[in-house]
Amino acid sequence: MGDLSRDEACCSAPEELKIEAIISIDERGQMILPKDIRDKAGLRPGDKLAVLTRERNGKVCCIYMFRTDELVGMVKEGLENLQLGLVRDG
């Protein structure tokens, strides 16, 4: 999955957002990702998700979850592009 180009990567530029489910957080702070979403995403027990947040006015307004293998691929590609830019610009 980390081998995908930015144009092919699932999470690179969301074109469409939709509500897949509404979930609750229990008293221990845990939540359950519904089975149909886990199945569509190919998530299995033991898989790792990175949780990223976006803040506005000092408060978290968006929470994103990425498969860690996808995130590593995106970071690696970004660093490679940065390195190419530095080499090109001198």
Which tens digits make up the pLDDT trace of 29-61? Answer: 999 999 999 999 999 999 999 998 999 999 999
Report yes or no on 87 lying in a domain. yes
Query: Number of structural domains, the chain?
Result: 1
Residue 4's pLDDT band (cuts 50, 70, 90): very low
Domain assignment of residue 87, given as a range: 11-90
Which are the contacts of 34, defined by CB distance < 8 A and separation ≥ 6? 20, 21, 23
pLDDT mean over 11-26 = 80
- The answer to whether the predicted template modeling score (pTM) of the entire model surpasses 0.85 is no
Structure tokens at 30: 């845990």
